[in-house]
Amino acid sequence: MARGRSAGGRDFSARGTLLGGVLLVAAALLASGCGRVIRAERPVQVTPRPVEVVEGEGVFRLTARVPYWMPGEEPGGETGEGTVAGMKAVGEAFVELLTPCFGQPPVRAERLPERGGIRFEICDTLDAGAYCLEVTREGIGIRSGDAAGAFYAVQTLRQLLPPAAFSPGGPVRAVEIPEVRIVDRPCMAYRGLMLDVARHFFTVDEVKRTIDLMALHKMNVFHWHLTDDQGWRIEIRRYPELTRVGSVRRRTLIGKDPGGEYDESCRYDETPYGGYYTQEQIREVVDYAARRFITVIPEIEFPGHAVAALASYPWLSCTGELYEVRQTWDIDDRVFCPGRESTFEFIEGVLSEVLELFPSEYIHIGGDECPTKMWARCGHCQARMRTEGIDDLRGLQGYATARVERFLQAHGRQLIGWDEILESGVTPTAVVMSWRGTEGGVRAARQGNRVVMSPSTYCYFDYYQTEDTASEPLAWGGCLPLEKVYAFDPYEGLDERERACVLGVQANLWTEYIPDFGQAQYMLLPRLSALAEVGWSLDRKDPADYRRRLARLARCYDAAGFHYARHGFGE
């Protein structure tokens, strides 16, 4: 895991004389007329940390006229249909990156240039997601195991470009990139971020910006929490009331939840609050994410966190009472009735449309925080328990989850649930998302279930980022500073066989106290970079080095116009 000038690396010793360099620069400036030339920045600092960075002394001078070459549709150039589509997306990302620098898109070469230029190449010897990026004085070579690897190389290139190249002041004539060889690959296959759009709604553009943020950090799973007590946010054609009724709450709590909707101390903003995504918009987001090598996993909460659904269709609850969409944030007793057949018809109907929209292997069905109080008093639930031989109420949740899992599997999909699903007799094939610490994940991995580690102690970005909470916007509680996220070890307490069950890690952004996208970014950044480093660079983490790189990354955030917290920058 060498970083810096390694003896085994390329020889980058200076070839030209200083005088030669000066003359060349002068000649280039004369040839180009006016226009800025943005100098290379050193040392090269990339986050998440690559396996190897070997820096040379020269620079490559990139202009709008340098052609780039992509393996694509030309005969013999492709390595499979998926790769062609993937490389097209990489090409788009590359063009999108450079266009603002030069005020014009880079040109695509018709055939592989004999020398120089920017060359992308797929290489069988590299793993999926892995790449090798080489900048020499002549050009840039990007070899990767697949299209995703090439995309990650483009993200690295973003961090090699001097941020000044993106600053206002008009397009630049040329940018210098340091001579460097970077070898890189992800440690974990699943590097996720969950966004809760139920408690507060985020527009399609804001969701896309969140996906951009993930792409910048080489993350690859966007978990979209689409339904909860306080709002149903996905259009389901079979059940139009879900969005007509369930997407709007009459009012929203102001300030901290005192622990109950009917508590006298509750104060409300009386403005109705709502929003949902049409199926067309969902497709647009899924496609946008796919072009950034990000899979979208939808979450439809079942059987708890269901009040918005019950408010839309009262026959989904045990009592059939008419409810309102929730206006406060604590756990609610009003959940789906697993005693009635109609509940399963409903959830399967919903999931049928969900499966059409989301091609992801995994579908999240929630499963967290589901009180059984109503089931205890419900004749349908009691009858179900008798006929199915279920002897405790929690077992009823296990029955409901297993039934939904069978439905998903019949459609070629896998079920993910929060770690509560372990308590109701989980099947061996379900994926467990561990949030109440890592204990659930450890237990699940010991029994051979696949796991995503997302413990609140390290991954809950709705927690404060400093002890000094008085100077912060209101948050859920807890304290999760940047350093702690960075220190997360998702493999702690697991032997090698159990580690193989851990798919990866995920940050969660619950939005009870995050009313707008500016604040969402503030809570996400820079903590997301620390979690990205856990997922991507777990075997080569180095806190001091991360801190140095963070300052550079922040300038990338500036260049991309992201809002971020300054804790951890010594400001």
Contact residues for ligand TNX, defined by CB under 6 A: 368-369, 418, 435, 460, 462, 476, 510, 512
Annotation marks residue 332 as catalytic: no
Phi, psi dihedrals of residue 116, rounded to the nearest 5°:
70, -165
Q: What angle do CA 254, 259, 265 make, to 5 degrees?
A: 55
Start-to-end Cα distance in the chain: 31
CB of 510 to ligand TNX, least distance (A): 3
Contact between 425 and 388 (Cβ < 8 Å): no
Q: How far is the CB of 209 from ligand TNX (least distance, A)?
A: 21
- Cα 509 to chain centroid, rounded: 10
Q: Is 312 helix (H, G, I), strand (E, B) or coil?
A: helix
Nearest approach, Cβ of residue 299 and ligand TNX (Å)? 9
User: Could you tell me the smallest distance in angstroms from the CB atom of residue 513 to ligand TNX?
Assistant: 9
369 is catalytic: yes
Q: What is the residue-wise DSSP string for 397-419? A: HHHHHHHHHHHHHHTT-EEEEEG
Annotated catalytic, 411?
Answer: no
Rounded to a whole number of angstroms, the minimum distance from the CB of residue 266 to ligand TNX is: 18
Q: Which of 134, 146, 184, 228 is catalytic?
A: 228
Between CA 308 and CA 290 the distance in angstroms is 29
Nearest approach, Cβ of residue 435 and ligand TNX (Å): 4
Nearer to ligand TNX, 382 or 466 (CB): 466
- The DSSP bridge pattern shows strands 362-364 and 414-418 to be parallel
Distance between CA atoms of 431 and 362, rounded to whole angstroms? 9
In contact, 210 and 222? CB cutoff 8 Å: yes
Torsional sign, CA 268, 269, 272, 276:
negative
In 48-173, DSSP assigns E strands to: 52-62, 68-69, 117-122, 131-135, 139-144
List all residues 6 or more positions away from 22 whose beta carbon is below 8 Å from its beta carbon.
Answer: none
CB 298 to ligand TNX: min, Å: 15
Q: Which of 284, 330, 369, 472 is catalytic?
A: 369
| CA dihedral angle for residue 528, residue 529, residue 535, residue 537, rounded to 10 degrees | -170
Residue (213 or 433) nearer to ligand TNX, CB: 433
Distance CA 418, CA 427 (A): 13
Q: Which is nearer to ligand TNX, 476 or 546 (CB)?
A: 476
Catalytic residue among 217, 225, 305, 364: 305
Quote the DSSP letter at residue 124. T
**β-bridge partners, 62:** 175
Tokens 């400001």 locate to: 571
Q: Which residues are part of the catalytic machinery?
A: 228, 305, 369
